[in-house]
Structure 1
């Protein structure tokens, strides 16, 4: 049976050693037995579990959600509806973030491509200083009717 130290477990599962210790502290990863030298000795099941946790984190699931998913995974006979509800909530959260990021991109586009020669007339600086004295919200290089 293969056993892993914290460092080798971290490398095998794609997380860093401090993350392994943290997951153990908060109970996502069971505390392993220790060798005579005091080193933690993890088994293959820890590699699998950490891979599960890492993928769940990559999908944006919160620690408490992952705790529930681990419990569900440990009970193969349990209905999947809890996991489905969780993924639906996560999808809604991601879609809301995408919407917010699109709004942010639009706001940055409105500030980009300033053609001013001086910082006094810089669109970004105007916006950050909450002033609108120098540049109209449209591109001055466009004819008046095109900017409307």
Structure 2
């Protein structure tokens, strides 16, 4: 299949597919006599895996490691499980940080909403913060 068909099969652009190929996440495409790239079903399977991995928040480096393990003939499932566990820990930390930030911003907003802007302290840049 041609590049547009492969990209459309997994809901991405041809530019993204070329990017993944340039980054080594996809093997170089075979070329038809006319010079067009030609992709097989295994490329669509790989692109779908990359798309799902990105959806789980994995980095391209992490995805590359998973693919390298698979390409070496080993199942990367244990490695993926460990990556997902770390991803969950990181997400929990980020959520806690965002909850704390929201609380801080809400306090500042409440102060600003209740204040009279005309009474702003001219010695400070803004008395709301």
1:48 matched to 2:45: yes
Measured after TM superposition, the shift of residue 29 of structure 1 is 0.9
Could you tell me which runs of 5 or more consecutive residues in structure 2 were left unpaired when the two chains were aligned. Answer: none
1:18 matched to 2:15: yes
Cα deviation code 1:65-91 (max 9, x no counterpart): 101212334466547432222222211
Q: TM-score, normalization: structure 2?
A: 0.78
Q: TM-score, normalization: structure 1?
A: 0.69
Corresponding residue for 1:146? Answer: none
Distance 2:87 2:6 in 1: 28
Distance 2:125 2:39 in 1: 56
Corresponding residue for 2:28? Answer: 31
Corresponding residue for 1:100? Answer: 97
Distance 1:79 1:50 in 2: 16
Higher relative contact order (CA 8 A, sep 6+): 2
Distance 1:79 1:55 in 2: 15
Residue from 44, 66, 71 that aligns with 1:69: 66
Could you tell me which runs of 5 or more consecutive residues in structure 1 were left unpaired when the two chains were aligned. Answer: 138-148
User: Structure 1's 106 and 35: CA in aligned 2 closer, same or farther, altered over 3 A?
Assistant: same
Measured after TM superposition, the shift of residue 112 of structure 1 is 3.3
Residue from 73, 87, 90 that aligns with 2:87: 90
**Based on CA coordinates, which of the two structures has the bigger radius of gyration?**
1
Corresponding residue for 1:131? Answer: 126
Distance 2:126 2:49 in 1: 49
- Size of the aligned set, in residue pairs, is 125
Measured after TM superposition, the shift of residue 130 of structure 1 is 5.2
